[in-house]
Every structure is written in structure tokens, then in C-alpha cells.
């Protein structure tokens, strides 16, 4: 490592991608690299992260001269894969992860979480690479464990290479659709313009040396300025997880990205209310496997330096929030640090609307990501909070009348038992909860629900709305003069339903349809072209109506407005024509009727 750049910290790397595409396997492979290749003492065990020192990477790549080329001390991989960890690890409004790997199963291609990962990385402007995983599953692929991609690729038959190329360019095509110009990593000349894609097998380790090299290259090129840090400066980190540990009580797993931290230091941790001020009781790292004689899985250490993952045991940290900042303070800086932590939490102020759905998420970062995605999709949000779904949330949602807004959209949170109980009850019958651990899915499910609701509403409107209708009394078909009059009619346009009022062409409403029969059978409505027997109450044949008369369904003004201005396009052409005729009658004397 070049001497003068000693103070560059280890870049932090997150692995993202769709479920089952091989994130965990890739991380295991990298961890294996670190453990197998590293001599005793070369590897630092971390909480929630694995560090691969530069020497190990260089050795793996088989070219010792590279050691002088790179100035970062190694790579720190966050052990929990997924965009969830990525969004949890926020820092100063951005992401704590300096780099990311998006894993795509080359045989399956793009999936919702692949796209979600890309969107999140785009938004945070995090440099990343894509790996097309599981190349060993390509038909007839001959595995060469641990080799670089090009080396194993050259040893495949032309047929296998052909199948690979086809699958690989499918992925490149999908990336293009998502707005990325991408190419195989060894053909990329400018990683700022072109996204590097590395074909790998997480299982056999093929391509892993390339992944490590490309990541180092990215760190070198794009992160150098942001990786400088002060070894002796105050420790700054982000809470990865708040965890109960046997014998330790509540602990926080923290990824430290700047400065250092010692046992006994005062720290300030963000939470929903006033920040927590406490003292580090113990700093813990995982105990080596060889030391199983100890009861605890953890080993206390006196000091930790960024970048590192560490478990902190301290009093009163039960309210600490995943994703919140942790900053070391001295008596002189305490007030300032409290303000800083508070303002970072306040920065997550989420702009809400006066109307809309409720959003619950498990961390500040995921809440931000959710709100962002939902706003992009024009979903109105009334409330957005970190935490499980409580009874109060259900109560609140149940008071909202709009079925599209009495909804709780929940990401990675639980429904509390008393809230669950309330959901069973009548008061909460209108509350809907959409829960998932993929933001996309929640959005999709909610959008489907909205669509369904809108269609139902339209249907309801259509059912109660009085539609246009026009009919003629047929000659020789008067079956009864009055009380009610029963006549044979032909529907000339639109539809005539039972219980609708009828009107003469001069605008006089004369009676009400009190029964429709077709071939002796009662029917609820008659449509264009049908010849039916119609009972009309309130009229006498020969007085208000006579044979050959043309009558209209009387449409109230309010319904007419909906028909003409809201759903005209959905009417059939004969309904449209009939409505036009009806409006002409109405507007003869009153030009603004129904406008
Ligand atoms: P995750 O959900 O993204 O973390 O995926 P996992 O790492 O758990 O992998 C899902 C499944 O795919 C497991 O059965 C793995 O053994 C398998 N798998 C992962 N990577 C590879 C690979 O490169 N080749 C093959 N053949 N199988 C793999």
C-alpha cells in the first residue's frame, strides 16, 4: 500500500439484487476468500461486515505488482445482503455504502428487486457493478473454481460461449432499458460512462477475482476524496441493527465510517425523540471460532477504527433507531453533537399531504425510499412513520372515509397483536393493510387495489345512473288503456329500465315504467332493437300517449351531466345519439340545461 495514503479508509460495499439470485452465496464466497487466504491476524472480524484486506485481494488476483497500484486498505462487505441494508445504512442524507454489487441470475434475468436495486442506486448516485451470477449453470459449462472470468471463459467450447453471450446480452439489454449503458467489465474504458458487468459463479468462485478488482478500481477512481478520514477523529457511524443479546441487554450493531471509538467514550445516538446520550460500556467483535470455550459469542475490544462493524453495549439504548447516526462526543462538543444528530433525523422530514395513505417502515432509510417511490407513482401520503403497526394506526385509518386512503402500506414491519385484534373488529372493517418486504410489490398491490376500487365505483355509478333511452309505441299493440297502460314498444336507442320515468318529445314527463316483459317473461331492462310489452303507470292511452308516439327516458339533470361530461366516451353509439336527441329537447327552451 502506498505509504502517503495511509489515511484512506476501507470502502464499504453492499450486495443487492433479487431474492435467490445468489447474494448470500456471493458474500459467503468472498468471506471464504478472506478466511482461507488471510494469515492469522490479517483478517479483522467485524460485526455485520467482512473485511477483505488489499493483500488478500492482490494475492487472489495473482499479480503482486498490483499492491502498489491501489491505495485503499481493502474492502468492507456488509454481511446482510439486500437493498434493505443499503437503505438502512444512510449517512448524512446519502448512503453509507460507498459501492454496491447488483446480483442478477444470468439464467433468470431481471426481476422486480433487480429493478428496485438499480433505482435506489441511481437515486443515491452510488457507484456500482452488476454481476451476472450462476454462469456455472449454463448448459455444458466447465467450471474452473476461483479463476478469473476470462480465463474460465476461454476454456469453454464455442457452443457454450455462444449460449453465454446470448444470455449475457439479454442482461445488457435489460440494463439499457433501465437507462444504463453497460458492457462486460474488461471492455469498459470509462467506468463513469459505462456500467461494468462481471460474469461470475458465486458457487465456484469463477469471476470473483474480477469482482474484487473492478470494485477496487471503482473505489480508486470515484471515491478517493470521500475516503480520507482522521484516525484520531471522533467516531461516526450508523446503526445497522438494534439487538437484544443474552447477558448484554440491548445492544446496537454499528458500522463506523469515520474516526475511532473507545470503551468509555460518550456517544450520541439518534432516535425518534430526543437523541440518546450514553457511555460505551463495551465494544464487541465476534469471537474467533477457535475460542468456543468462552460462553459469549463476543469478545470485548478496547478500540475500533473506521471502517468497521462493531457491537456497542451501553445503557439506555432501547429506543435507538436502525439507520440513525451514532457520533462520539466530548464534554466540549456534546451540545453540538446532539444538535447534529437531531438535525440528521429531522432531515428525514417527510413531506406529507393533507389526504392520503399511511406508510410504516422499519428504518428511516426504508421509509425515505418508500416515500420516494410512492410519490413518483403519484400516491398521496398523509402520514409516514418508522415502527410496527399499532392499534392507534388502525384507529386512525378507520376514521378515513375514502376507501383508497384508509390504507396502511407497510414495509418490513409487524402488526402488533392488539392492532391485529382490532383489525378483526367491525370498526376497522374499512382498513386495508398492504405488507411486503419488496417496495415494488406494495406499490403494485396498492395500485391494483385502487384500480379495482375505481372500477367498482364506476360500476356502481353506472348501475344507479339513468341512461338515455328512446322507444316507439307500436301500432295495434295497446293491451290496456290505463292503470297501468300496457303497450307494445320497440326500443329505438339506448336502454329502458324498470321504474324510470318517461317523457314526451315536448319535454313533458308523463309516467313511470312499471314492468317490462319479453315473450311473457319479466325483464329488468330492454335495450336497443328489442320489442317488448311495457307497463306505464300514470298515463292513459289516447290521452297523454297514443300509438306511434316516440317517448324518451327522463334523465335528471345531475345524471345528464355525468353522462355528457364524464362518461360520454363509454356510451354506445346509439346511447350517444339518444342522449344528443334528449339534450336537444331539454335545451330548446333552456340552452344551459345540464351544463
Ligand atoms: P439470495 O437470496 O440472493 O441471497 O440467494 P442465495 O445466495 O441464497 O442463493 C439462492 C440459491 O441459488 C441457493 O440454492 C444457492 O446455492 C444457489 N446459487 C447461488 N449462486 C449460485 C451459483 O453461482 N451457481 C449455482 N449453480 N447456484 C447458485
pLDDT in tens, 122-148: 988 899 999 999 999 999 999 999 999
The residue whose CB lies within 8 Å of the most ligand 1 atoms, and thus the one to mutate among 18, 19, 25, 143, is 25
b/e string for 418-454 if b means 16 or more Cβ within 10 A?
ebeebbeeeebeebbbbbbbbbebbbeebeeebeeee
Which residues carry a binding-site annotation?
Answer: 17-24, 79-83, 133-136
Q: Read off the C-alpha cell for 195.
A: 456500467
Dihedral sign computed on CA atoms, order 444, 450, 455, 456: positive
Q: Give the Å distance between the CA of 33 and the centre of ligand 1.
A: 17
pLDDT in tens, 185-242: 999 999 889 999 999 999 999 999 999 999 988 888 877 777 777 778 899 999 988 8
Q: Which residue has the cell 398523509?
A: 382
| Inter-axis angle of helices 364-376 and 439-464, nearest 10 | 40
How far apart are the C-alpha atoms of 194 and 187, rounded to whole Å? 10
Per-residue pLDDT band at 64 (split at 50, 70, 90)? low
How far apart are the C-alpha atoms of 5 and 112, rounded to whole Å? 41
Q: Which residue has the cell 473454481?
A: 145
Whether 532 shows a pLDDT value over 90: the answer reads yes
Q: What is the ipTM of this complex?
A: 0.99
Per-residue pLDDT band at 33 (split at 50, 70, 90)? low
CA distances from residue 139 to 110, 202, 408 in whole angstroms, order as listed? 20, 17, 46
Residue whose Cα lies nearest atom 11 of ligand 1: it is 20
Q: Give the Å distance between the CA of 184 and the centre of ligand 1.
A: 22
Average the pLDDT over each of 26-35, 362-371, 384-393, 477-486 and give the range with the smallest value.
26-35
Domains for the chain: give ranges and CATH numbers.
3-226 (3.40.50.300), 236-346 (2.40.30.10), 357-463 (3.40.50.10050), 469-586 (2.40.30.10)
Whether 468 shows a pLDDT value over 90: the answer reads yes
Query: What is the atom index within ligand 1 of the atom nearest the CA of 137?
Result: 26
Helix (H) or strand (E) holding 118: helix 112-124
Contact 322, 345 (CB under 8 A): no
pLDDT in tens, 39-49: 444 556 688 88
At 2 the three-state DSSP class reads coil
Share of the chain above pLDDT 70, in %: 93
Which residues carry a binding-site annotation for GTP?
Answer: 17-24, 79-83, 133-136
Over residues 326-352, the mean pLDDT reads: 86
Contact 244, 92 (CB under 8 A): no
Q: Across the chain, how many H-helices and E-strands are there?
A: 15, 31
At 267 the three-state DSSP class reads strand
Query: What is the atom index within ligand 1 of the atom nearest the CA of 200?
Result: 23
Contact 413, 385 (CB under 8 A): no
Reported residue count of the chain is 595
Listed residue (477, 525, 503) closest to 582, CA to CA? 503
Beta bridge partners of 304: 261
Contact 218, 121 (CB under 8 A): no
CA distances from residue 177 to 18, 181, 187, 374, 558 in whole angstroms, order as listed? 17, 9, 20, 21, 47
CB contact set of 588 (below 8 Å; sequence gap of 6+): 507
How far apart are the C-alpha atoms of 307 and 258, rounded to whole Å? 7
pLDDT in tens, 253-305: 999 999 999 999 999 999 877 899 999 999 999 876 554 455 678 889 999 99
How far apart are the C-alpha atoms of 5 and 224, rounded to whole Å? 10
CB contact set of 290 (below 8 Å; sequence gap of 6+): none
How far apart are the C-alpha atoms of 227 and 238, rounded to whole Å? 16
For residue 484, is the peptide bond before it cis, meaning its omega torsion is within 30 degrees of 0? yes
DSSP string of 500-543?
-EEE-TTS-EEEEEEEEEETTEE-SEEETT-EEEEEEET-BBTT
Whether 4 shows a pLDDT value over 60: the answer reads no
Q: Read off the C-alpha cell for 191.
A: 467506468
Q: What is the largest CA-CA distance in the chain?
A: 112
Contact 211, 22 (CB under 8 A): no
Beta strands per DSSP E along 128-229:
128-133, 182-184, 195-199
Whether 507 shows a pLDDT value over 80: the answer reads yes
In this prediction, residue 480 carries a pLDDT of 93
Whether 166 shows a pLDDT value over 80: the answer reads yes
How far apart are the C-alpha atoms of 170 and 168, rounded to whole Å? 5
Contact 77, 340 (CB under 8 A): no
How far apart are the C-alpha atoms of 151 and 147, rounded to whole Å? 6
DSSP string of 531-565?
EEEEEEET-BBTTTB-TT-EEEEPPPHHHHHIIII
Query: What is the atom index within ligand 1 of the atom nearest the CA of 202?
Result: 23
Over residues 82-92, the mean pLDDT reads: 78
Q: Give the Å distance between the CA of 274 and the centre of ligand 1.
A: 43
How far apart are the C-alpha atoms of 298 and 264, rounded to whole Å? 18
Contact 406, 356 (CB under 8 A): no
Listed residue (563, 571, 569) closest to 593, CA to CA? 563
Helix (H) or strand (E) holding 448: helix 439-464
Query: What is the atom index within ligand 1 of the atom nearest the CA of 201?
Result: 23
End-to-end alpha carbon distance in the chain: 80
Using CB atoms within 10 Å of the CB of residue 590, give its burial: 0 to 12 exposed, 13 to 18 middle, 19+ buried: exposed
In this prediction, residue 39 carries a pLDDT of 45
Whether 117 shows a pLDDT value over 50: the answer reads yes
Residue whose Cα lies nearest atom 2 of ligand 1: it is 20
For residue 307, is the peptide bond before it cis, meaning its omega torsion is within 30 degrees of 0? yes
Q: Read off the C-alpha cell for 510.
A: 308523463
CB contact set of 92 (below 8 Å; sequence gap of 6+): 344
In this prediction, residue 589 carries a pLDDT of 87
Residues with CB under 6 A from ligand 1: 17, 19-25, 81, 133-134, 136-137, 201-203
Amino acid at each position: 500500500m502506498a505509504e502517503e495514503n495511509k489515511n484512506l479508509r476501507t470502502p464499504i460495499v453492499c450486495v443487492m439484487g433479487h431474492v435467490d439470485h445468489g447474494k448470500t452465496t456471493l458474500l459467503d464466497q468472498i468471506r471464504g476468500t478472506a478466511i482461507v487466504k488471510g494469515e492469522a491476524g490479517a483478517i479483522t472480524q467485524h460485526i455485520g461486515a467482512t473485511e477483505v484486506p488489499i493483500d488478500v485481494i492482490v494475492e487472489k488476483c495473482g499479480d503482486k505488482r498490483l499492491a502498489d497500484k491501489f491505495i485503499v486498505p481493502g474492502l468492507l462487505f456488509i454481511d446482510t445482503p439486500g437493498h434493505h441494508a443499503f437503505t438502512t445504512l444512510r449517512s448524512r442524507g446519502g448512503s453509507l455504502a460507498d459501492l454496491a454489487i447488483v446480483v442478477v441470475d444470468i439464467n433468470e434475468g431481471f426481476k422486480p428487486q433487480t429493478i428496485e436495486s438499480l433505482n435506489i442506486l441511481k437515486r443515491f448516485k452510488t457507484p456500482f457493478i452488476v454481476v451476472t451470477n450462476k454462469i456455472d449453470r449454463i448448459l455444458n459449462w466447465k467450471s474452473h473454481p476461483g479463476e478469473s472470468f476470462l480465463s474460465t471463459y476461454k476454456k469453454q467450447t464455442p457452443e457454450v460461449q455462444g449460449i453465454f453471450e446470448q444470455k449475457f446480452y439479454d442482461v445488457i439489454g435489460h440494463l439499457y432499458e433501465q437507462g444504463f449503458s453497460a458492457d462486460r467489465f474488461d471492455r469498459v474504458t470509462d467506468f463513469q460512462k459505462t456500467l461494468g458487468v462481471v460474469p461470475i459463479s458465486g458457487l465456484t468462485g469463477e469471476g470473483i477475482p474480477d469482482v474484487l478488482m473492478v470494485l477496487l478500481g471503482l473505489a480508486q477512481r470515484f471515491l478517493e476524496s470521500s475516503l480520507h478520514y482522521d484516525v484520531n477523529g471522533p467516531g461516526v457511524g450508523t446503526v445497522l441493527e438494534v439487538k437484544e443479546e443474552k447477558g448484554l441487554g440491548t445492544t446496537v450493531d454499528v458500522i463506523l465510517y469515520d474516526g475511532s471509538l473507545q470503551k468509555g467514550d460518550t456517544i450520541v445516538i439518534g432516535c425518534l425523540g430526543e437523541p440518546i446520550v450514553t457511555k460505551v460500556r463495551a465494544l464487541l467483535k465476534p469471537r474467533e471460532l477457535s475460542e468456543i470455550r468462552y460462553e459469549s459469542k463476543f469478545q470485548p475490544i478496547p478500540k475500533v477504527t473506521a471502517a468497521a462493524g462493531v457491537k456497542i453495549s451501553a445503557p439506555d439504548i432501547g429506543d435507538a433507531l436502525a439507520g440513525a447516526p451514532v457520533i462520539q462526543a466530548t464534554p466540549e462538543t456534546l451540545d453540538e453533537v446532539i444538535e447534529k444528530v437531531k438535525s440528521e433525523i429531522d432531515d428525514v422530514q417527510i413531506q406529507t399531504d393533507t389526504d392520503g395513505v399511511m406508510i410504516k417502515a422499519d428504518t428511516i432509510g426504508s421509509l425515505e425510499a418508500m416515500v420516494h417511490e410512492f410519490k413518483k407513482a403519484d400516491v398521496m401520503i398523509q402520514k409516514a412513520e418508522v415502527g410496527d403497526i399499532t392499534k392507534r394506526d388502525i384507529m386512525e385509518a378507520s376514521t378515513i372515509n375514502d376507501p383508497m386512503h384508509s390504507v396502511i402500506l407497510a414495509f418490513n414491519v409487524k402488526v402488533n397483536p392488539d392492532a391485529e385484534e382490532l383489525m378483526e373488529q367491525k370498526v376497522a372493517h374499512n382498513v386495508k393493510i398492504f405488507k411486503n418486504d419488496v417496495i415494488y410489490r406494495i406499490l403494485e398491490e396498492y395500485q391494483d387495489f385502487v384500480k379495482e376500487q375505481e372500477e367498482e365505483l364506476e360500476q356502481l355509478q353506472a348501475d344507479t345512473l339513468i341512461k338515455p333511452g328512446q322507444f316507439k309505441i307500436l301500432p295495434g299493440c295497446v293491451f290496456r288503456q290505463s292503470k297501468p297502460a300496457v303497450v307494445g314498444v320497440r326500443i329505438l336507442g339506448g336502454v329502458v329500465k324498470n321504474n324510470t320515468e318517461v317523457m314526451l318529445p315536448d319535454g313533458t314527463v308523463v309516467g313511470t315504467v312499471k314492468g317490462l316483459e319479453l315473450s311473457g317473461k319479466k325483464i329488468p331492462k330492454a335495450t336497443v332493437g328489442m320489442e317488448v310489452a311495457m307497463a306505464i303507470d300514470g298515463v292513459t292511452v289516447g290521452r297523454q300517449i297514443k300509438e306511434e308516439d316516440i317517448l324518451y327516458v327522463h334523465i335528471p339533470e345531475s345524471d345528464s351531466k355525468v353522462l355528457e361530461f364524464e362518461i360520454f366516451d363509454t356510451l354506445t353509439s346509439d346511447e350517444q345519439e339518444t342522449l344528443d336527441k334528449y339534450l336537444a329537447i331539454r335545451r330548446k327552451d333552456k340552452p344551459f340545461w345540464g351544463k
